[in-house]
Amino acid sequence: MFGKASLAVGAVLVLLMTGCTDAGVTRLSPSGEHAAEVRVRAASPLTLTAPINGSNLDYSGVGEDFTAPGVITALRDFRGGTIRYPGGTIANYWDWQNGSVNQPPTISSTGRPKPGHVRDYGFTLQTLKGIVREAGVTPVFDLNLLTSTLPNQLLMLHTAQKLGIPVRYVELGNEFYLGNNSYLQVFPTAASYARTVARWAPAIRAAFPHAQIAAVGSLPQSTARENSWNRTLISVAGAEINAVTLHDYFAPIGKDPGPGQILGAAQASWRSTQQVIAAIPSRYRIWITEFNLSQRGRSGGEPAWGTTWLHGLYVAELMSLIDQSPRVQLDDYWDLFSNPSTGAFTAGLDPKPTVAGAALMFLTNASAQASRVTPLRFAVTPALPDGAAGVIGVSFNGLNSTRTVLINLTDQAVTMSAGTGTGLSTGASLVSISAAPTATISGLTRATSVLGTTITLPPYAIAAVGFTVPIAATT
């Protein structure tokens, strides 16, 4: 995790070096286009203290058949470091002993009714044990503070531990800063939630002294409840927790934003998130336990680009920015198995990667078992609309390996030359996928090669250097 990189856009020739200069030179690219030669350096690597990139389960996810070969293959292909169990809102109504949910209809703070969910999924801790065994993930236990009790939730954690499921990350509920009627009945104020945290967290730590405990923080700052939430949480329960959770769901602004505006919105949303993080004392780690492209989008409905490659680039861009933060310990994409516009995989017995999953697997596979992360910092760059960066890159370092991910967010090819300190070494393997922003999963183009003295990324492309990506993600 590291500082924000300054990145390139357009048809540029990027010279990767250990030094850094502000001088740019115009040359011809292999296609004959003019390209800027930009000097770049690798920033100092930072230590990862947790598996950085993971995913959520939720309604579709807990309904999966985790004994099905196709589901197991998807879990293994994704290579997430953590998996949030049982997921988001579902956690507030979860019966772990039966693997079921009893969520009544609610009224949100906007006055809109939300349907209830009452279903026996049969997703017990035995199911979770199988996921941990097959995929090697570590659960983030999202506890039920709304409709359960502290003794019951401690029993769940003890039962998990006896089954061999690691109890390392514990999250105290989901999104209680929202003003729906169920939350307000139990936690009418931020202080009432914080007092519950101050009671639950010490009991959990006494039973699991090595577990890290996170409380719900509010990234939205649009209501009085949300505005005071984080300050109140820290003032009342700050001594009892290790981390604060945030959810990143900003939407691109504008009636009909183009690709540049949408991709630039990921960086704009992350700048807003960083401001909220900065107001939380630095002794607390940040867990981004949900993030995605907002479903609000156009006219209050799901965006038309939800199933397009633009969505894949957006969430991969956002994950890479999250990975660069010195404050963020882990992140979990929302969600793993769902509909094609939100999930990393479709739901069912034979799940397939979505555009989001195809892009995210470059980062989850790169970061798997990594111990350090290194930024690629570009000195002089043009920009996307509103000054957003057009090309981003990050390297993950593990035992005797460096795995680099490059993302070209622009509509022009980008040529980079291999250099030292970045993972872009001559002879390294190269896998990329690219497509028009409006392409769906069937329209992605996969390319493989061995890195020579230069690497050229097509427009709207993501590339893996020095490691392989599952074929399913790039076919």
Question: What are 174-233's pLDDT values in tens digits?
Answer: 999 999 999 999 999 999 999 999 999 999 999 999 999 999 999 988 899 999 999 999
Residue 253 has pLDDT above 70, yes or no: no
C-beta separation of 168 from 210 below 8 A: yes
Tracing tokens 């959990």 back to the chain, one arrives at: 204
Provide the pLDDT confidence category of residue 10 given band limits of 50, 70 and 90: very low
pLDDT at 407: 92
Coil, strand, or helix at residue 401? strand
- Confidence category of residue 299, pLDDT binned at 50, 70, 90: very low
* 12-47+382-474: CATH number: 2.60.40
Cβ-Cβ contacts under 8 Å for 407 (sequence gap 6 or more): 313, 316, 317, 320, 391, 392, 393, 461, 462, 463
How many other C-beta atoms lie within 10 A of the C-beta of residue 179?
Answer: 16
Q: Which pLDDT score, from 0 to 100, does residue 301 have?
A: 37
Residue 22 has pLDDT above 70, yes or no: no
Structural tokens at position 181? 């009627």
Total-model pTM: 0.91
Share of the chain above pLDDT 70, in %: 86
Confidence class for position 426, pLDDT limits 50, 70, 90: confident
pLDDT (0 to 100) of residue 12? 31
Encode burial over 7-19: b for 16+ CB neighbours within 10 A, e otherwise. bbbbbbbbbbbee
Q: Residue 419 has what pLDDT?
A: 63
What is the average pLDDT across 280-301?
79
Does residue 430 contact residue 446 with C-beta atoms inside 8 Å? no
Beta pairing class for 106-107 and 113-114: antiparallel
9-13, 30-34, 155-159, 376-380 — most confident range: 155-159
Cα separation of 143 and 305, whole Å?
A: 33
Class of domain 53-369: alpha beta
Q: Bigger pLDDT: 47 or 387?
A: 47
Print burial letters for 185-200: b (CB count within 10 Å at least 16), e (below 16): eebeebbebbebbbeb
Torsion of CA 175, 141, 327, 197, to 10 degrees: 60
* Domain range annotation of the chain: 12-47+382-474, 53-369
